[in-house]
Structure 1
Amino acid sequence: MITIGALVGNAALELRILESGTSGALSESVTWVHNTELPDPSPYIREKELVLTNGLWIDQVTPAEFVANVRRAGAAGIVFGLRAERPRTPEGLVAACGEAGLPLLEISPAVPFTAVSHAFSAMYADERQRDLIGMVRRGDALATALSRGTGASGVLRVLTRDRDLPLAVVDRMGRLLAADGAELDAGQLRTVAEGLARRPPALELDLGDGRAALFLVGAVGDVDAALVCLRPLAELTATERDALEQAARFLSLEVARQQAVQAIEMRFAGELLEMVLSGGRRASEVAGRLQAFGVDPTGALAVCTVAFSGEAATVHGLAEMVGEFFADEGVPAVVAGGTNDVVAVLAWRDSEDELPALGERLVANVAERSPGRRPVAGLGGVVAHAGDLRQPLLQSREACRVLRRTPGGPAVRGFRELGTHRLLLGLVDPETLSAFSRDLLTPLREHDARRGGDLEPTLRAFLDHDGQWAATAAALHVHVNTLRNRLARVTELTGRDVGRTEDRVDLFLALAIDAMA
């Protein structure tokens, strides 16, 4: 970075400071030098340029007007060139610069402006050369770090070796991949993930205790993560930004490598599920495949299937979230992501009664990392060894499918807990079910809305009490005759007699379907 102070330090230029400007002005970056004698040079001066002038404009505008024009253009300062006709810098110019907080330098009559231009060019060339050499060396160090398998943490160490910057790498799911000098809480990680999900992605975010710059990390054309610097972009020098952008490109290589590894692992995990489902000769390969993933095939095994309620396809990143959860829990597991769900086959050392609690922790963890979505988990029970996995796998996926189509239902259930009617309903087209429920319940609801009646609540109470008249009447605090009259009206409106088993089943299913909607 070239500054006014650096130019003054060049004794050959014979520069003398008359006004230092605002605090720190002499240490700010100068982009170039601009020689002008125009009364208003503002249209031609770029921001942070140093203006060189002999004052030939002095008969056309006052020094205060000239300074105001230069200031408006955002110039770094003014260098006034002394000459035989004007051996001293005009006092009005000195006063105007002092008032405007603009640095003012005086240059000896013996030194031409071209000497300043040449000196600036030489300094600029040296600076660019240093930057390029630094970039090459940094690139070598980054490549070495990645080749040694140090990953994102190695990249950050290379950056912070030369620059005191608080850095972190966060992926688009809000996971902290690495950090050096930076601490991000769960809320800040979520903010970064939300920023990366925008289109276009955010390049700067407010993290609550200050603004942070984001340098995007991508593989195969998508944004997968961000190199986060806990400083605003405006406070970063051009050299620092170049270094961070270079590091982000190297991190993209690391992300691509990780994605390739994950894709291979996911393919092998998917093949494992196919082996389990196919049975027969391929079933003999299951034990070896489980062992390759670090899961003991001779011990007890359980199956858990996860998906998001109401979503037909698997959300990107769900398999990684599930895998990380089991890793944090210390449970060896094989996780396979499918089109509609994510299946985990896990080693289970506890009793089967403990499995629902693990499922509850799993969906809570996924829900926290997936705002706005509702995860569900179907459990397939525990088996003694790998040869018996087919049934719990089928049951786990079926339970998950039923839960996924029941937005208001439980988040975690085992196959046997759901009840036969729920499993059967899960096999029928949702629109068909909805039409069946609507045809039966709409007349009751319209009647209750018009008359302020209680037919639907009465029907629900009657079915909840297994068709027992006295128990239902007591629960509703009405006489049994009142209950009979209400249910007779239900029969008139729906065409279903609560006294007949098959009609009672229809009404029960209509209410169950309504609860699943």
Structure 2
Amino acid sequence: MLQEGHLDDNNRQQGGLPATPDERTLDDPTPDEAQPTAHGTAGGIIPAVPQTALDLLRLLAQDAPADLIEARALQATDSETAAVARALALRVRAGIDEHRRREAELSALVETARDLASAADPRGVLDAIVRRARGLIGTDVAYLTLYDPQRGDTFMRATAGSVSARFQGLRLPLGAGLGGLVAQTRRPYWTADYPADGRYAHTSEIDDAVDEEGLVAICGTPLLVDGEFVGVLFAANRTRRPFTREEVALLGSLAALAAVSLVQARRTAETADALAALSAAHAGIESAATAHDRFSEVVLSGGGVDDIAATLGELLGCWVAVLDVDDGRLAAHGPVPPGDLAASPAVTRSAETGRLAGADGRWAVSVHAAGQRLGSLVLGGRGDLDDGQGRTVERAAMVTALVLLFRLRAAESDQRVRADLLAELLARPEGGPDAGLVERGRLLGLRLGVPHVVAVCRGPVRGLAVTAGGGGGLAGPHGEDLVAVVPGTDPSAVAEALSRRLPDGVTTGTAGPVVPGCGLREVHERAQRTTGALVALGRPFGSARELGFAGLVGPGDVGAFLDDVLGPVTGYDARRGSDLLGTLDAYFAAGGSPSRAAGALHVHVNTVTQRLDRVATLLGDDWSTPARALELQLALHLRRLGGPPT
């Protein structure tokens, strides 16, 4: 039985189920568990498969439920064999059911995020939250309380399945009842029998409301956004029911989605209220009313910065440009002049004051949201702005900030989901395709069932995930490196293309191709070794296929090896200005033929012979034996790789 209580480090071990005797027998078989045997035709003894085991395997293949498997096992005449087969079959059945449950929960969370994102007002978000919580956890009632900072308590705001008006109007002081304890500690708590549970501070008001609703089992988890407490999400049953840790964790995941969506809905409502206030303050001015309607339409229809720039330009009859935080141009409307708009005095002044500023026939206002600067809005090509027009520009900047903030948060959320998927793919050994991973990739616009190349980028790679991923790819940090999984079949071409997109100082090694849905662990390890070898060789990019054996070397190996094998010849060339290394290279390339080497070098064969005699003097007479010749050829190959890639 799962121990009820809060989910913390002190009771992580609570709720574990002890191994049953059957489970201990299956995990640690004893010598007495001999399998039935039958005599073979050649006089040997081969194992015989019990009919019970075959029947259970057949039921598993037919996706039969656990109760049918158990019923078939109980019909078997061989009780000892049937017990082992039953336990094994039920364990396999339980694993299949658990996998399906997790897949269903993931799909449900994705659907929940989609529903929450489509809710246009805070009330719609709250209703969607409690409906989903009730359905996902499978309880009689789900409800949500919001934190009231003025009164220092939480109040009931949305319910699903509730029938009691008294319960729906309940307020929970901090620390009172289960919900008040969740709000006070900001940690989840749950109980199978709240009325009889003495761990919570019961009050007559709360207990009477809970009794009128008929609730017995209750689970509550906090809604938190960046450390800010928003409220509490509950799932409750009218009969005694223990909550599993999986259910508590699922409710927590839903609460995390709900908290972010609720805060975003509040901000949207606040922006809509601000626009309404602007309209009310300038009700007598037609242009202000028009601006309000137009910007409201942009926000509520999900428009982007292009739409904001076009709307403002049309309202004021001017050109408009939207700059990002790095002063790059995000959007433009009208004949925007060429050149660096960020260097305009108006942009500089606005960045300093945070307010609308004008200079040299241009106007600019800094775009801020959530305490950070997101860019600037610049306009020109018209006369001075009156007070109403100035407020219209500032309102446009506020709407721009809202749109950019939503885009930023969406990008951050998308990147987190992609990073989790990439980590799972990199941890999975190569094997058969995982349909669940492929489907998750499809939801992100990825095709994980076709060949990809794995790239490991090392160096100053922070913040380059989007650049490395490119169109249709997947990229994210992994340890100190940046790993990119890029569609394609040519590792060399991918390495070169990434090197062009990434800044100087980043070394890129690739391996593959491989189908990501089948696992990336082995190919990722080859790409890591390739990148390490490229760093050691001083090359900016390359593939495992190009390096061959050289991909096995590591930092510090190359210089010592070259010095041991070629040091005397390299030193001689440096002192005398000769080219014995070039002669050696040509000699081996010619298959050990001095005459062909002389032709390649455009010298007389006697010159090649004399140079090789000098090599023998420097390296020893055994330099041309197979073992020494192999070492020399490897060293010459590494020396060539140490130069710029061809």
Alignment: residue pair count = 347
Give the secondary-structure state (helix, strand or coil) at the position aligned to 1:294: coil
Residue type matched to 1:162 in 2?
L
Q: Residue by residue, what CA displacement relative to the aligned partner does 1:419-469 show, whole Å, maximum 9, x if unpaired?
A: 4322102xx12x443344356656545533432211232233334445443
Structure 2 residue 450 is the aligned partner of structure 1 residue 300:
yes
Aligned equivalent of 2:274:
none
1:82-135 per-position Cα deviation (integer Å, ceiling 9, x unaligned)? xxxxxxxxxxxxxxxxxxxxxxxxxxxxxxxxxxxxxxxxxxxxxxx98xx989
What is the CA–CA distance in structure 2 between the aligned matches of 1:237 and 1:194, rounded to whole Å? 21
- Distance of 1:406 and 1:247 partners within structure 2: 54
C-alpha contact 1:217 1:227 (8 A) present in aligned 2: yes
Does residue 485 of structure 2 align to residue 344 of structure 1?
Answer: yes
Decide whether the 8 Å contact of 1:305 with 1:396 is kept in 2: yes
* Residue equivalent to 1:460: 585
Counterpart mapping for 1:175-254 below 5 A: 177-182=330-335, 217=367, 225-227=375-377, 229=379, 247-248=396-397, 250-254=399-403
**Unmatched segments (≥5 aa) in structure 2:** 1-280, 353-359
Q: Indicate conservation of the 8 Å contact 1:146/1:154, yes or no.
A: no
Partner letter of residue 301 of structure 1?
A: P
The partner residue of 2:607 within 461, 482, 489 is 482
- Partner SS for 2:481: coil
- 5 Å-filtered alignment, 1:390-401, equals 390-396=521-527, 398-399=529-530
In 1, are the aligned partners of 2:422 and 2:475 still within 8 Å (CA)?
no
Indicate if the aligned counterparts of 1:269 and 1:334 stay in contact, CA closer than 8 A: yes
Is the contact made by 1:497 and 1:503 (CA closer than 8 Å) also made in structure 2?
yes
- Once the two structures are superposed, what CA deviation does each residue of 1:143-168 show, in whole Å capped at 9, x if it has no partner? 66345321212331342133233333
Residue in 2 that maps onto 1:92: none
Q: Does 1:386 align with 2:517?
A: yes
The 3-state SS of whatever aligns with 2:623 is: coil
1:424 aligns with 2:555: no
User: C-alpha distance in 2, partners of 1:200/1:398?
Assistant: 51
Secondary structure of residue in 2 paired with 1:168: strand
Bigger RCO (CA 8 Å, 6+ sep): 1
**Separation in 2 of the partners of 1:184 and 1:463?**
63
Distance 1:200 1:162, change over 3 A: closer
What CA deviation, in whole Å up to 9, does each residue of 1:307-347 have, x standing for no partner?
Answer: 3xxx524142x322344x42xxxxx444444441241254x
Inter-partner Cα distance in structure 2 for 1:501 and 1:486: 19
CA 494–336 in structure 1, closer or farther in 2 if over 3 Å, else same: same
Q: What's the CA shift for 1:472? A: 1.9
Per-residue CA deviation, residues 222-252 of structure 1 (Å, 9 max, x unaligned), is 66655455779xx976978876666455434
Q: What TM-score, normalized to structure 2?
A: 0.43
| Corresponding letter in the other structure for 2:407 | Q
- Pairing 1:149–2:275 present: no
Higher Rg: 1
Query: Cα offset for 1:356?
Result: 5.8
Alignment match, 1:43: none
Alignment CA distance shift 1:269-1:473 (3 Å): same
Corresponding letter in the other structure for 2:518: G
1:217 and 1:252 in contact (8 A); partners too: yes
**Whole-angstrom distance in 2 between the partners of 1:507 and 1:437:** 9
- Aligned pair partner of 2:459 in 302, 309, 312: 312
Which residue identity is paired with 2:624? G
Structure 1 gap ranges (5+): 1-128, 204-209, 327-331
- Structure 1 counterpart of 2:481, one-letter code: N
Alpha-carbon separation, structure 1, partners of 2:627 and 2:547: 18
Aligned match of 2:414: 265
Q: Tell me which of 457, 464, 467 is aligned to 1:321.
A: 467
For 2:349 and 2:549, how far apart are their aligned partners in 1? 47
Q: What residue number does 2:8 align with?
A: none
The AA in structure 1 aligned to 2:315 is D
Deviation readout 1:24-71 (Å, 9 max, x if unpaired): xxxxxxxxxxxxxxxxxxxxxxxxxxxxxxxxxxxxxxxxxxxxxxxx
Distance 1:438 1:200 in 2: 61
In structure 2, the CA distance between the partners of 1:501 and 1:247, relative to structure 1 (3 Å rule), is: farther
1:516 equivalent to 2:642? Answer yes
Kindly report the root-mean-square deviation, in angstroms, between the aligned alpha carbons of the 2 structures. 5.0
In structure 1, how many angstroms separate the alpha carbons of the residues matched to 2:621 and 2:372? 57
- C-alpha change, 1:473 and 1:213, in structure 2 (3 Å) is farther
**Cα distance in structure 2, aligned partners of 1:140 and 1:378:** 53
Determine the structure 2 residue equivalent to 1:255. 404
Matches within 5 A, 1:127-166: 142=295, 145-166=298-319
In 2 relative to 1, CA 290–447 (structure 1 residues): closer, same or farther, beyond 3 Å?
Answer: same
Structure 1 position 289 matched with structure 2 position 440: yes
Partner amino acid, structure 2, of 1:380: G
* Cα distance between partner residues in 2 of 1:450 and 1:402: 30
Distance 1:242 1:231 in 2: 18
TM-score, normalisation: structure 1? 0.51
The alpha-carbon distance between structure 1 residues 283 and 220, as it changes in their structure 2 partners (threshold 3 A), is farther
Matches of 1:340 and 1:211 in 2, distance apart? Answer: 48
Identity percentage over the alignment? 24
Three-state SS of the structure 2 residue aligned to 1:422 is helix
